[in-house]
Amino acid sequence: MTVSRNPSAASTPFYATPLGVWTIVALWGLSHMLLRALSTPVLGTDDMFENVLVQTLEAGYMLRQPPLYEWLLWSAQQVFGPTIAAALFVKYGLISCAALFLFLIARKAIANPRLAALCAFSYSLYYQFGWNLHEGVTHTVVLTTACAASAFFFIKALETGKLGFYLAFGAVAGAGLLGKHSYPIFVVALLIAAASDTIWRQRLRITGLLLVPLAAAVVYSPYAYWILSEGLKLLSSVSQTMGVTAETSHLLRAGEGLGKLGFGLIGFSVPLLPILLLLFWPRYLGRKEASKAAVNNVARLCGRTVVVMIVLTAIMIAVTGATYVKERHMHPLMLLLPIYLFADLERFDFRKQWRWLGAILVAFVAVAFLARVPGIVAPDRFWCGGKCRHMKPYSDLKSPLSELGAATATLIADSGYTGGNLRVLFPKARVVTSAIPARTAPREKCFFIWEDGEREPVEEAAERFPRVAFWDAEPAVSATYFTGSWPHAFKQPGWRTTWWGVAELNSNDIACQ
């Protein structure tokens, strides 16, 4: 990649335009979507749980997470069915939109459009974007997109003073609130960053700021009503999830949470920040002269927002003693950091280093794509670890379960993994798990299905059933085992098998209701 000193000296290439950035990221997502969807229909981490949850469209599904992701997934399933394709369409569609908004912000912070595009593409060098995004992630994708969009509309509101952009900011903020409960911290960080900057503080409009919560409230209102109907359970649910109800002392929990925050920030930064340090070390060791004294106002706002986000998060951890802090929670904290760093590095007129970064980025993207292939064609423990959940032979259950009448029955699953993939096989069935109660009417037939392991069972299914059921179960009407053979490009069928137990229950059993 060649970065011109004078961006006006040559026409802007397609890849450095908003449409070009969106197209490239969308094609990147499409390639991963096709690799996964055409190779295996099995739902993996997170997606399987959501597949059971969205059998119906509801104003709210759980207190732990807001429902926007579920609404989007339910909508996609009206086209794709309850399949992996629906989940991947939502995921990569949102990410392409997030990339577009990040590029639009980068264009305001970075003078050279080519460099701004490279900045947007370089988010793939965050491990959580370049790799972990493909393996899991649901609500976090909504959160990331909402943060990128809200930052863009907030900057536009500051630049223009137009109330329409404040309304757009508020509407996106409402969507962010529907994405994840942690989203408000990002909005607060944006406001504090702007208010603490002399240039931006003068541009804040009180009238516009008053419109923001009004617009957000309208968007958020369906879920707000659902929360109110559930009483005060939200506070208890969030407290348990964040680990603030532990019996250990507050000081120890706060110390643990702050330590996890530090390690999370470091882990999230890999390998992007180490690569930038390695390539642009003269800037960081004071060995190169800057052509400009400082970054522009937008870049400064981005950098300040990152600092405020980290400080606010640290304060919240110290006050609440939260310990449920992980690397995959760092997206809003680190989202605007690359824009600031690229804007800062642009001041030093590097040329060769930018080309090296472009080459590293292309290589990393290619390796991340190819590295997923072995775990698909040869799903043994060497290539994808012991579980390899995305290749488990659930499809072998379809024929024998269909013969029993499972296609339109109530299917009670022992786990979210089993339940989510049963719904892939039987879209018209009523699927239930211990964590997700059914919202539809009972069916004439009812089965409990559990995964028994990879070894042939040594006891009868009828004897095994009462011990694996998660309720006080009555004896089964009948019970049996089915087995599935794992696929492998180079090994014979039967090299690895999984056994499932199936118990037919009386339709009046409490678990079937």
Question: Residues 20-66: pLDDT tens digits?
Answer: 999 999 999 999 999 999 999 999 878 999 999 999 999 999 888 99
Which stretches of the chain score pLDDT less than 50? 2, 4-9
**What is the distance between the alpha carbons of residues 413 and 415, in angstroms, rounded to a whole number?**
5
In this prediction, residue 293 carries a pLDDT of 87
In this prediction, residue 206 carries a pLDDT of 96
Cβ atoms of 345 and 281 closer than 8 Å: no
- Given CA atoms 503, 508, 509, 512 in this order, what sign does their dihedral have? positive
In this prediction, residue 464 carries a pLDDT of 95
**Tokens coding 219:** 């968007």
pTM here is 0.92
**What is the distance between the alpha carbons of residues 325 and 380, in angstroms, rounded to a whole number?**
31
**What is the distance between the alpha carbons of residues 166 and 209, in angstroms, rounded to a whole number?**
7
Helix (H, G, I), strand (E, B) or coil at 159: helix
In this prediction, residue 363 carries a pLDDT of 97
In this prediction, residue 243 carries a pLDDT of 55
Long-range contact pairs involving 74-80 (C-beta distance under 8 Å, separation at least 24): none
Question: C-alpha distances in angstroms, 326 versus 148, 242, 263, 267, 322?
Answer: 21, 10, 8, 9, 11
In this prediction, residue 5 carries a pLDDT of 47
In this prediction, residue 385 carries a pLDDT of 66
Q: Count of CB atoms within 10 A of residue 240's CB?
A: 13
Q: How far apart are the first and last CA of the chain?
A: 62
**What is the distance between the alpha carbons of residues 43 and 90, in angstroms, rounded to a whole number?**
14
Cβ atoms of 484 and 500 closer than 8 Å: yes
**What is the distance between the alpha carbons of residues 503 and 477, in angstroms, rounded to a whole number?**
7
In this prediction, residue 320 carries a pLDDT of 86
Residue 182: partners with Cβ closer than 8 Å, 6 or more residues away: 143, 329, 332
**What is the distance between the alpha carbons of residues 202 and 210, in angstroms, rounded to a whole number?**
16
In this prediction, residue 2 carries a pLDDT of 47
Q: 483 forms bridges with which residues in the sheet?
A: 499
**What is the distance between the alpha carbons of residues 447 and 478, in angstroms, rounded to a whole number?**
10
Q: 453 forms bridges with which residues in the sheet?
A: 499
In this prediction, residue 247 carries a pLDDT of 64
